[in-house]
Amino acid sequence: MGLRIPAFKLVPDDDMSNSLGEMEAPLTMGFGLHWAWVYATMFATTRLFLASSGDASSVMSGFYLLSMAALSLTLFLFGFNYRRSHHILQRMSPFVCGTISTISTFALLAANSTTPVGITAFIVASMGTGIGSALLLLLWGEYFSRKDTPTATINSALGVVVAIFLYVVLVYYLPPTISCVLVGLLPMLEALILRGVLPARASSEVPSLGRLRVRTSSFALRIGVSTFIFGVALGVLRNISLSSTFTNTANGSQGILLAAAVFAAPILICIILVLNRYEFGFLYRPLVVLIAMSLLLIPFFGSNNPPIVSLVILVGYVCFEVMMWVVFSEISFSFRLSSILVYGVGRASLTLGTLLCALLLPPLLARASTFAAIGETGAALIAMCAMVLGYCLLPREKDIGEMVISDGAEESPTYVGKEIPPEWQKRRFALKCQTVADQYLLSKREAEVLYLLAKGRNASYIKDELFISEGTAKTHIWRIYRKLDVHTQQDLIDLVDRVTNQGKRGH
């Protein structure tokens, strides 16, 4: 049983080369519920769950660190064992993940550091929220990995708006008892939505062409280092400015939170409208500049400064969170890579960078208390440099192409003087299409469109078969022609036909 939100989509297409994405209500709402739960357990733990605890401060800090460590470890384990993990997640119901998260959230009510029951509840809450969050993130990663960059950006940006709105309502405008219960149940509602959208509808004609195989260690090192550095910048932003804003009970802070979410979403959507073009990573450049500029305002953050400073910093944070999610989505989608590998290793490394800042930054700033401005200025400069360095180290199309494992397709049996069985004809044709898709680094959706084009299908047929709009189908066709350097459908058919049975292109 799953919760199916009505299929409400906005699908603007400006021409054959640019798709402006789809706004999908289940994606926006489900993703927003997840981050509302994360924000509430991260920033409102004391207010909602530990109000009666005599050692709330120590429990809160320990809970945060242990939960983040459990999150990172779970994501790493699943990421590095992504082939086995894929089968585990396929068999695992989203309700299992939601139940783990809900039970561990309610365990916070009994957590303390003085009694055996309190210590047990503390461990269950810390480990459970980390593990549950990791599993839910991987499931959302699987869903987002099927979406193109504009669609992932629009829905994650609107999802953060939903998350911050829910956070403000639950934490500040409802009685703590009711808020506590609703926050604990958010993962279950999220699981209901996930149950309704996974698995997606599959084409009856297009076979599964498989994931692009890359050297796991090389890819994990490249994406892990870059996202760890991004995590350092994110950790500076969270520890210096975000925590005080999210936990401030003043009405002004709540208004700034809502305003930041409302301003960030149009900024991200405008970037797509203005800059969207066929180029991997086109979204990151303006966002890196925007986020770096917001980081420079960290030394001026505080109650004595204009609210606009807090607003700009929070807009930068929202853009940062969305950008990192879209980075993983785009890499998974564009190169048919396992979403468990990309999101597992990438998100784990990002969390480790944030965790490092949570451990080291407070004592460093405390030592610089006499020169607080200098300490925060230095932290801001470090964060800005980390942003630029992380961006430079992100894997590009050429880097991923060099990591591809090209062991060729399986060899065709020899049928001398015999009729080739229909099932092998279909299999051999699919292998040829997969070989072309691997060689030209086509996305999962592009590989499916390639298969149908090679069979002689037109855009109208592809639209119906893959459950996409005709404009989106034409966009994929245009991009495939560009990648394969062909101009007509017949050229594409000839190119696929020249692929030999051993998975190599003929001449």
**For the chain, which domains are there?**
9-402 (1.20.1250.20), 422-497 (1.10.10.10)
**The pLDDT value given to residue 420:** 56
Q: What is the DSSP letter of 114?
A: S
Identify the bridge partners of residue 9 per DSSP, sorted by sequence position.
24
CA angle, 238 then 231 then 301, to 5°: 25
pLDDT at 409: 46
Q: For residue range 122-151, what is the model confidence (pLDDT) as tens digits?
A: 999 999 999 999 999 999 999 998 888 888
- Mean pLDDT of the chain, nearest integer: 83
pLDDT band at 506 (very low <50, low <70, confident <90, very high): very low
Give me the residues paired with residue 396 across strands.
none
3-state secondary structure of 467: coil
- How do the residues of the chain divide into helix, strand and coil, expressed in percent and rounded to 5? 75, 5, 25
Q: What percent of the chain has pLDDT over 70?
A: 81
Average pLDDT over residues 28-51: 89
Residues 6+ apart with CB under 8 A from 141: 328, 329, 332, 339, 340, 342, 343, 344, 347
> Whole-angstrom Cα distance, residue 468 to residue 198?
17
What local confidence, expressed as pLDDT, does residue 185 receive?
96
Residue type, 86: H
Q: Tokens for 201, please give them.
A: 């509808």
Give the residue carrying structure tokens 């890359």.
214
* Token duo for residue 141: 């990663």
Residue 350 has pLDDT above 80, yes or no: yes
pLDDT at residue 31 in the model:
94
* φ, ψ at 221 (rounded to 5°): -65, -45
Question: What confidence tier does 368 reach under pLDDT thresholds 50, 70, 90?
Answer: low
pLDDT above 90 (res 7): no
- Average pLDDT of the segment spanning 472-484: 89
The candidate with the shortest Cα–Cα distance to 264, out of 306, 326, 333, 343, is: 326
Joined together, the tokens standing for residue 451 give 């298969």
